[in-house]
């Protein structure tokens, strides 16, 4: 039955209305997977020989030391991006197929995801090298099975807590706290990790523990899904009671105020937009990377940091206009919606948040006023130039967004567009290049001033630029409508 399901999915892929785009995306993803496979296999060789030949230490013990960190990262990645394949199962619920078979198929399919088996490539390669160099076969086998099953447990944890955001936040805080305690050598977590995982090598019989945990969590996940496995219950889109909210003072700004009002309510109510707010907040700390690596202290990379620290919300929100409105975009186009005011509302909202980010970034003055001045210039460039180019790139993003579901995909079939990629040149590379060149010949003050002046010029020419952006949105209007209407 499992092979029949896989064969049906294979047929549905080639019979879909977007075969060309789907095939192109599959090829790109396949190339990406091959790249990461080579990276994981290469890392196994590098780590083994580096620890054994250069450091004269046991590679299995060294890898065991850092497995707790790898396990936590794997859990976070799976929670953020790995989806439970429920949508393709819905048509079979009306057929004479037992729910037990369907649920087991869903659980099995999660292990076919690249997020599940890619790390196993590292362990397989690493264990193969260890066996070649004479390490104990039973020890390596016990270590491989024990470690692999503990990583596969993350699939079940993701399923159980996938829709429990409060629990996910608590677990995230715990992981962050443990990471902090480890970093400051308060608790020797890495020593505990080494002892725990290396036990599977020294005492292979302990592998029975992860085996029991694996099948125990499988059974728990099976019952967790089985009890809500109905079209009108577990697989139905969740509906919340609507709340009427209104930010009254915005109404005096006419259509722009109304659109801003609606966007603020959207940001407060939906899972995807809440994730964007959280991501934008995390971007404020992105500049701290500059002080952990020497490469980020170059002038161009300092400007790169400044663009992200002050423009996190802008990049995450602006490039998804009008995708956020995809569910009712066709209705909007039948109404007398002023396109320019619609885009200006997004522009003002992005710039208000960007201005607030510039103020918060003042904390970076602790590392030197040159750092903050660079970030300040980057913020002005974001307000005057990048805000408009980001909206412009949104015209080519035709990805539907379900506001009530977590976004868990790296990329989607309509989100790649050569025009949007070309707009990265004025958005990122131009200010980095100008700042680096001017700073090199005329000093940091001239570099800051040059980028700030570009931002000011962009702000003063915003009306002309908006006319161009509106034209492009109108040119892309019908292809955007077709993409938003097509649910395939």
What pLDDT, in 10s, does the model give residues 22-48?
556 667 677 878 888 888 889 999 999
What pLDDT score was predicted for residue 247? 59
Angle at 32 between CA 26 and CA 36, to 5 degrees: 140
Closest CA relative to residue 471, chosen from 415, 406, 409, 395 = 395
The per-residue pLDDT for range 55-91, each reduced to its tens digit, is 888 999 999 999 999 999 888 888 877 766 555 666 6
Quickly count: other Cβ atoms within 10 Å of residue 330's Cβ: 14
d(CA 290, CA 92): 52
- Closest of 119, 16, 6 to residue 413, by C-alpha: 16
Q: pLDDT tens digit string along 141-200? A: 999 999 999 999 998 988 888 777 778 778 888 888 888 888 888 889 999 999 999 999
Supply the DSSP symbol for 229.
-
Residue 425 is predicted with a pLDDT of: 67
Place of tokens 């967790």: 224
Distance CA 403, CA 381 (A): 30
The pLDDT score that the predictor gives to residue 407 is 47
**pLDDT tier for residue 415 given thresholds of 50, 70 and 90:** very low
Q: Answer whether residue 136 shows pLDDT above 50.
A: yes
Residues 6+ apart with CB under 8 A from 34: none
| Residue 208 Cα to chain centre, angstroms | 35
Q: Which one has a higher pLDDT value, 245 or 338?
A: 338
Tokens found for residue 449: 């001033």
Residues 24, 28: Cα–Cα separation, whole Å: 6
Q: Return the sign of the alpha-carbon dihedral for residues 424, 427, 430, 435.
A: negative
Question: Tens of pLDDT along 328-372?
Answer: 777 777 777 777 888 888 888 888 999 999 998 888 888 888 888
**Higher model confidence: residue 481 or residue 446?**
446
The pTM of the full predicted model, rounded to 2 decimals, is: 0.57
In this prediction, residues 430-448 reach a mean pLDDT of 86
Contact call for residues 454 and 389 (beta carbons, < 8 A) = no
């Amino acid at each position: 039955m499992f092979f029949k399901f896989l064969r049906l999915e294979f047929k549905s892929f080639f019979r879909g209305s977007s075969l060309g785009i789907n095939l192109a995306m599959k090829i790109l993803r396949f190339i990406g997977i091959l790249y990461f496979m080579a990276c994981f296999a290469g890392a196994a060789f590098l780590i083994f020989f580096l620890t054994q030949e250069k450091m004269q230490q046991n590679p299995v013990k060294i890898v065991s030391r850092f497995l707790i960190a790898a396990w936590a990262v794997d859990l976070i990645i799976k929670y953020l991006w790995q989806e439970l394949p429920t949508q393709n199962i819905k048509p079979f619920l009306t057929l004479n197929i037992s729910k037990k078979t369907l649920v087991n198929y869903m659980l099995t399919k999660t292990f076919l995801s690249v997020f599940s088996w890619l790390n196993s490539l590292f362990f397989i390669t690493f264990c193969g090298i260890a066996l070649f160099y004479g390490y104990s076969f039973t020890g390596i086998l016990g270590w491989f099975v024990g470690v692999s099953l503990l990583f596969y447990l993350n699939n079940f944890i993701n399923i159980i807590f996938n829709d429990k955001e409060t629990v996910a936040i608590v677990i995230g805080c715990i992981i962050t706290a443990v990471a902090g305690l480890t970093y400051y050598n308060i608790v020797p977590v890495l020593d505990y990790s080494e002892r725990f995982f290396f036990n599977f090598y020294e005492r292979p019989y302990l592998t029975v523990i992860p085996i029991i945990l694996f099948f125990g969590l499988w059974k728990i996940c099976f019952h967790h899904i089985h009890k809500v496995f109905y079209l009108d219950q577990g697989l139905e889109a969740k509906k919340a009671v609507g709340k009427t909210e209104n930010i009254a003072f915005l109404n005096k700004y006419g259509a722009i105020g109304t659109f801003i009002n609606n966007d603020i309510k959207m940001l407060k109510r939906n899972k995807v937009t809440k994730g964007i707010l959280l991501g934008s907040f995390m971007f404020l700390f992105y500049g701290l990377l500059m002080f952990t690596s020497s490469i980020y202290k170059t002038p161009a990379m300092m400007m790169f940091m400044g663009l992200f620290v002050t423009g996190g919300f802008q990049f995450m929100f602006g490039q998804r206009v009008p995708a956020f409105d995809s569910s009712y975009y066709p209705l909007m186009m039948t109404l007398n919606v002023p396109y320019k005011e619609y885009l200006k509302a997004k522009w003002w909202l992005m710039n208000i948040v960007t201005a607030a980010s510039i103020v918060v970034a003042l904390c970076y003055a602790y590392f030197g006023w040159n750092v903050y001045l660079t970030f300040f210039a980057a913020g002005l460039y974001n307000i005057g130039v990048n805000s408009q180019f980001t909206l412009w790139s949104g015209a080519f993003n035709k990805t539907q967004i379900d506001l009530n579901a977590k976004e868990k995909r790296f990329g989607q079939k309509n989100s790649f567009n050569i025009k949007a990629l070309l707009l990265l040149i004025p958005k990122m590379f131009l200010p980095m290049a100008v700042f680096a060149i001017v700073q090199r010949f005329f000093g940091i003050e001239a570099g800051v001033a040059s980028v700030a002046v570009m931002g000011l010029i962009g702000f003063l020419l915003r009306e002309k630029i908006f006319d161009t952006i509106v034209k492009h949105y109108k040119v892309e209007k019908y292809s955007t409508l077709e993409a938003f209407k097509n649910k395939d």
